[in-house]
Amino acid sequence: MTDTPGSRLTLIVDQPTPTARHRLPPREQAKALRLLRTLGLEADTPPELVLAWLERRDGGCSLPEAARQIGLGNWLGITTSLADLTQNLARFEAAYALDSVLDSLTVLAEQSPPESR
């Protein structure tokens, strides 16, 4: 069992934590949590679940599977429905992808010579 900083949840982990190459860097975690708050989804969508899902989604891990792996499997039916949570995560994922594209464009603009801007 581990206490999650900044949360009222205690996670019971029954699966190993993702390998270091699958862990989200702290900057990406902060961005994900900021977007979750900005979209107004934080109350209905546990940040721990969003981070776990982001870390595991490239491996084809579904939302319910990510919830089970971090010990939130029972939470899904109690607090919100899977359909609502899936819809929230779809909104979040779209915003997260857009934010990543905008970050990439900003980096490209900063790297281009001033005369080409």
Domain boundaries, the chain: 2-116
DSSP 112: S
What is the number of alpha carbons within 13 Å of residue 75 lying toward its C-beta?
21
CA pair distance 80, 3, nearest whole angstrom: 22
State the pLDDT at residue 83.
Answer: 76
CA pair distance 104, 100, nearest whole angstrom: 6
Contact status, residue 18 vs residue 56, Cβ threshold 8 Å: yes
State the pLDDT at residue 36.
Answer: 84
Q: What is the pLDDT along the chain (117 residues), one digit of tens a residue?
A: 444 455 554 444 444 455 555 677 888 888 888 888 888 887 777 788 888 888 887 777 877 788 788 877 666 655 567 777 778 888 888 888 898 898 889 888 888 887 776
> Model pTM greater than 0.75?
no
Dump the DSSP string for 7-63.
SS-EE---SPPPPGGGSPPHHHHHHHHHHHHHTT-TTTS-HHHHHHHHHHGGGT--H
